[in-house]
A and B are shown apart, each in its own frame.
Chain A
Amino acid sequence: EDKVVQSPLSLVVHEGDTVTLNCSYEVTNFRSLLWYKQEKKAPTFLFMLTSSGIEKKSGRLSSILDKKELFSILNITATQTGDSAVYLCAFPSNRDDKIIFGKGTRLHILP
């Protein structure tokens, strides 16, 4: 069964720290891995990763995929209180249209 596991489940750091969120996966016929940020509302798309070793970057956020070791990391540098959210790792199902989400990492940034 396809699955994605995120760690840590929860993380509390001070503003300005750098954090690394982990996502490991087991997916048959892997196509892509997706990162979303969810605050109190809808998941907001961050990155789609398809190729190993190519870093995707958006401001202070970056992500990379390792297809050999079956994991991805999401880095956030110089964290701000606005980064507090649940970060979801996900992949598109091969059997139907849904996105399969991990349980998420709940990140809380202390001022």
Chain B
Amino acid sequence: AAGVIQSPRHLIKEKRETATLKCYPIPRHDTVYWYQQGPGQDPQFLISFYEKMQSDKGSIPDRFSAQQFSDYHSELNMSSLELGDSALYFCASSLRTSLSDTQYFGPGTRLTVL
């Protein structure tokens, strides 16, 4: 079965650079979520989109923005990168209309900021 796809899988950037992470949800899923997981931490919710509209916002820094496109893929744009942005970034997807709470996670993008 198709899973959530994220790209790139690894990314190394320098401070003050920008980065764009991409997420392709499971086919027919209508909701996308972004999480950030620091070393030894549990995943922290950043932002979510339902049917291409922002649905909820968590602890996403103002330097980050995200959107969901007409094909339901989502991009997380990160600017003025800081060392503390180094983390695993997970995208998850779900089908909200299925009334299931289960979010299925992608493999993650490991971002390293030097």
Assess the A98–B58 pair: CB atoms within 8 A.
yes
Asked if A43 CB lies within 8 Å of chain B CBs, one says yes
Q: Which residue of B lies closest to A104 (CB)?
A: B42
B106 in complex: contacting residue of A36, A42, A101, CB < 8 Å: A42
B-chain residues with CB within 8 Å of residue A98 when the two chains form the complex: 33, 35, 45, 48, 56, 58
Query: Which one of B43, B58, B104, B107 contacts A96 once the chains associate, using CB atoms below 8 Å?
Result: B58
Residues of B close to A48: CB separation below 8 A: 100-102
**Which residues of chain B are near A102, meaning CB under 8 Å?**
42
Quick check: is B25 within 8 A (CB to CB) of the other chain?
Answer: no
Chain A nearest CB, measured from B30 CB (Å) = 12
What are the residues of chain A within 8 A of B48 when measuring CB–CB?
96-98
Q: Is the CB of A101 within 8 A of B102?
A: no
For residue B35, which residues in chain A have a CB less than 8 angstroms away from its CB? 98
Given A97-B33, A98-B45, A99-B45, also A43-B105 (CB < 8 A): yes
Q: Is A44 on the interface with B (CB-CB < 8 A)? A: yes
Cα–Cα, bound, A38→B114 (Å): 26
Separation of A99 and B44 alpha carbons in the complex (Å): 9
- For chain B, residues 41 to 86, give those with C-beta under 8 angstroms from any C-beta of chain A: 42-43, 45, 48, 50, 55-58
Interface assignment of A31: CB less than 8 Å from any CB of chain B = yes
A93 and B92 alpha carbons, distance in the complex (Å) = 15
Residues of A within 8 A of B45 (CB): 93, 96-99
Q: Which of B31, B56, B57, B102 contacts A34 (CB 8 A)?
A: B102
**With contacts A42-B106, A102-B42 known, is A96 near B101, CB below 8 A?**
no
- Contact, CB under 8 Å: B107 / A41: yes
Residue from A36, A42, A88 having most chain B Cβ neighbours under 10 A: A42
Closest 9 CB pairs of A and B: A98-B45, A96-B56, A97-B48, A92-B101, A42-B105, A101-B42, A97-B56, A32-B101, A42-B108
